[in-house]
Amino acid sequence: MLDIRVSLDAAEINDPAELERLHRRLRNHLERSGLERVRPVRSAEAVEGGRGVQEFIAGVFQAVVVKSVTAVAAPFARALADFVSRSGRSVSVEIDGDKLTIDRPSGEQVEKILTQFLEHHRKDG
């Protein structure tokens, strides 16, 4: 099993409606990519040991890969490249504190780099 955090670069988005639209679009892309248990991250989860009101952080998702990393890597990479291309926003993928930022929608290159990143962090042997 591999836990992945995917974050939208929401810097300079001042319009809550635009942020919500991008949040929904990113979630749709992630859910169609083959990742399992895609869910928004709550604010108390974002800060280790945080307590209090748990609001969702717009554009931040936690996802799990249970099946083969190799089987998920290509559709995941295509989904992220498509999102970056359509939204013009960068996306970060974080696993065990290591972060990969995707800011250009070059499909094959994103797929190769993301596959290597996922394989590096694979916990299923």
The pTM (predicted TM-score) of the whole model is 0.80
Compute the CA torsion angle 64, 68, 74, 80 (nearest 10 deg): 0
What are 15-32's pLDDT values in tens digits?
Answer: 888 988 999 999 999 999
Structural contact between residues 64 and 30, judged by C-beta atoms closer than 8 angstroms: no
pLDDT of 51 strictly over 80: no
- Two structure tokens written together for 98: 């290591």
* Local confidence band at 107 (pLDDT 50, 70, 90 cut-offs): low
Q: In terms of residue numbers, what domain contains 65?
A: 2-121
What are 61-99's pLDDT values in tens digits?
Answer: 888 876 777 778 888 888 888 888 888 889 999 998 999
CATH number at residue 102: 3.30.70
Residue 125: C-alpha distances to residues 46, 114, 115, 118 (Å): 28, 18, 15, 12
**What's the pLDDT at 46?**
47
Residue 6: C-alpha distances to residues 40, 52, 88 (Å): 10, 23, 16
Question: What is the number of domains present in the chain?
Answer: 1
Measured CA to CA, the distance from residue 68 to residue 88 in angstroms comes to 30
**What's the pLDDT at 91?**
92
